[in-house]
Every structure is written in C-alpha cells, then in structure tokens.
Amino acid sequence: MSKDIATPGRTKEILKKYDFLFKKSLGQNFLIDSNILRRITETAELDKETDVIEIGPGIGALTEHLARTSRRVLAFEIDQRLMAILPDTLAAYDNVDIVNEDILKVDVGAMIEANLAERTKPVKVVANLPYYVTTPIILQLLHEDLPVSSMTFMLQKEVADRISAKPSTKAYGSLSIAIQYYMETELSFIVPKTVFMPQPNVDSAIIHLKRREEPPAKVNDVDFFFDITRSAFAQRRKTLWNNLVNRFPELKPQKEEVEGKLAELGIDVKRRGETLSIPEFATLSNFLGGFMRN
C-alpha cells in the first residue's frame, strides 16, 4: 500500500514538487489527517461492491481511501492544474477515473452510465465539498434523480447544522426541509480546522445523508411545496401569514377563510415558519395549492 497522501509531510512534498498554489476562489483546503479519512469511509459504509462519486479530489487524499474501500471511484475535479498531479499521487490505484469537469455543469447521470455501467448497487457520493458551493451541489444531486443511495459530505459545520436541524431550532430552515424531504440526515462527527492545509477559519462536520424510500409526507406538487417552504422563511421573524401574503398577495383578501380552514387542519397562521414540521408544510402546501387553483 502506498504512503498516505494525507500527512503534513507528504502533502507539502506534493505541493512543492508541482509548485502548486492554493486558489482561494475554489475553496481549496486539503486534509492532512488519515484518521479522519478512514472515519469518513466508515461513515459512508463502503465495500468492494460499491461505486463512489467524489467531488473535488484535490491531490487525492480522500480519493485513495475511497479507492481502497470501494469497487470504483469516479471523481470530478474542476481545477485543470490538478489533472497533472492526480495520475501521479493515485498511480497505485487502477479503479479511479478523474474527470476535469464542474459537477454543476455536467450530466452526472450520463457520466454514471458511461463510467460505472457495471455497478451492481446504487452509487454513493463521498466528498470534501468547497464551502462556497456546498448547497448548490447537494441540491442539484438531489433533484437530478440519480441512482444514488447515500451521500457523505465534509462541509462547514454551520451548514451541516442547518441540513440536520429539527423544527423550532435556530438552524432549521428551508434548506433543512429541501434535503430532509429526500434524505434521512445524520451529523456524524466534527472535524477541527487544524487538520487542513491551509487551515480554514471554521470547523467542519461530516454529514451522512441516506435516501428515503418515501418522503416523510405526501405532497401534491413538489415545486409548490418548496416554494411555500422558502416563502415561510423569507423573513424569519414574521408570522407564517405575513410571509405567505408577501409571496402570494392574492391571499390577503381571503384571510378569514384561509385562516379558518388552516385552523381546521391544525395550522395556526400566526405561527412562525420555523415551528412547522415537514408534514405540516405538506398539509399547508396541499391546501393552498388547491385553494389558489379554485
């Protein structure tokens, strides 16, 4: 087995060999602790029948651990400069494909079919995500209807808190709902900022997202449901009703009727959006969708 990339000495050696300078605009922070990487692969529950998608392999620190514990790794790297480094650092592994593409601009489903066609199980996504683009990547992967059973991400702890938050907490919001509608979420462990090069300003966390067999509530129109949830959190200090009429002013003249019917369904429009569970938001959006169409 080759010497681990994720040590301070080996990372510095690789950076020096290729005269590599970190690009702040790409949010590049390389892990230099192999124990953390082993814990990530354990959290992802990989085995030799599992194919993995990685996003932003950097110099290959996480990639080599994925290669050791899974059948095949398909890694997307946006930085052209790293395409010369990765074949060197990952030379010991013949089960890794590196693609120089922006994950947000590529047809991931087509790439899975082209590169992981012999898979026998759903794919898993494992990645150390750049802070600046975490949310768009996760939401795009969820909405593309990919053959993905779970996602294990290292991301900014604050974002991990928001993704896994429960109702009536400060971190709970439309992002919590957007992800929890599709996935069971678990904040697995905290990663201190000291295990990165260069060191970021905040700690990170590992979050494990497992695809639900069914959403937690029946929703008649998913797009409208997410529109309602975003509207409910537009101004957190405002009541549900005030946020809703800001988004749908046509409701204002019908306040008494709407308020009465929602009360019958167990929803008080004087509540704040952060107090509503996903099933309650489903009730709200199903009712309003029908009411506004009539």
- Alpha-carbon distance of 155 to 182, in angstroms, equals 19
Does the annotation list 102 as a binding residue? yes
**Residue 127, beta-bridge partner list:** 153
Alpha-carbon distances of 28 from 8, 40, 82, 280, 289, rounded to whole Å: 15, 18, 11, 40, 43
CB-based burial label for 238 (10 Å; 0-12, 13-18, 19+): middle
29 is in an annotated binding site: yes
Residue 128 known to bind ligand: yes
Asked if 205 and 190 touch (Cβ cutoff 8 Å), the reply is: yes
Q: How far is residue 124's CA from residue 284's CA, in Å, rounded to a whole number?
A: 33
- Give the number of other CB atoms < 10 A from CB of residue 59: 25
Give the whole-angstrom CA distance, residue 162 versus residue 151. 16
| Nearest C-alpha neighbor of 101 from the set 55, 138, 141, 147 | 55
On the 0-12 / 13-18 / 19+ scale of CB atoms within 10 A, 176 is buried
Q: How many CB atoms lie within 10 A of CB 8?
A: 11
From residue 284, alpha-carbon distances to 76, 136, 228, 229, 290 in Å are 39, 26, 8, 9, 10
Give the separation between CA 142 and CA 268, rounded to whole angstroms: 31
- Give binding residues for S-adenosyl-L-methionine as ranges: 29, 31, 56, 77, 102, 128
Cite the annotated binding site by residue number: 29, 31, 56, 77, 102, 128
